[in-house]
Amino acid sequence: MLPIGPLMIEHRLIERMIKVMKHELLRAEAQQKINPRFIETATDFIRAYADRCHHGKEEDILFRELKKKKVAAEHQTIMEELLEEHERGRQVTARLVEANSRYVKGDERALSEIFECIRTLTGFYPKHIEKEDKNFFLPIMGYFSKEEKEAMLVEGYRFDADLLHEEYQKIVKEVERGLPLKP
């Protein structure tokens, strides 16, 4: 099994969330209001799953190992583009979180920024995923031996396990401090 298998499976889940976000955007634009809880859920998914888990494995494992190789200029360029895209996604998601916070506090002007951020993210992710799936993941696997692929796969599983433990440690610390949990 290639270490990209889990990454491509993660892409399918991200695509499902993007589809829901597109649907919610259409509904919200028609009604000129949005469910702030949906935005909290969507941004949590993007931050925790799409970025921290998925992009984290790409950046902290796959790209790290690829940087040790002599790669074709084309693949180097794509990797740099992907890193820039990850950062742009983080920035737009942060703007969406901030706009949603303003909207919850009664700032109706934040609604247009929420819509813009959702449009940006739902436009960004399908193109980003396609670039990775079709132009990057498969070609770069040729740079790695079977053993290196297996080692990255194992490290990816550990990465996921560590994230799970980290998340629940955070929840317990919040409860211990008496902080309210998200509804």
CA distance 124 to 78: 15
pLDDT digits (tens, 9 = 90+) for 63-81: 999 999 999 999 999 999 9
Structural domain count of the chain: 1
DSSP the chain: --THHHHHHHHHHHHHHHHHHHHHHHHHHHHT---HHHHHHHHHIIIIIIIIIIIHHIIIIIIHHHTTS---HHHHHHHHHHHHHHHHHHHHHHHHHHHHHHHHTT-TTHHHHHHHHHHHHHHHHHHHHHIIIIIIIHHHGGGS-HHHHHHHHHHHHHHHHHHHHHHHHHHHHHHHTTPPPP-
Per-residue confidence (pLDDT) for residue 6, from 0 to 100: 80
Flag whether 181 is in a domain. no
pLDDT digits (tens, 9 = 90+) for 80-129: 999 999 999 999 999 999 999 999 999 999 999 999 999 999 999 999 99
Range of the domain at 29: 4-176
CA distance 58 to 4: 9
End-to-end CA distance of the chain: 39
Flag whether 29 is in a domain. yes
Flag whether 182 is in a domain. no
CA distance 44 to 9: 19
Mean pLDDT of 32-41: 96
Per-residue confidence (pLDDT) for residue 177, from 0 to 100: 77
Flag whether 108 is in a domain. yes
Per-residue confidence (pLDDT) for residue 162, from 0 to 100: 84
Per-residue confidence (pLDDT) for residue 164, from 0 to 100: 76
Task: Read off the CATH number of the domain in which 138 is found.
Answer: 1.20.120.520
Flag whether 183 is in a domain. no
Per-residue confidence (pLDDT) for residue 180, from 0 to 100: 60
Name the pTM for this structure: 0.87
Mean pLDDT score of the chain = 91
Mean pLDDT of 37-45: 95
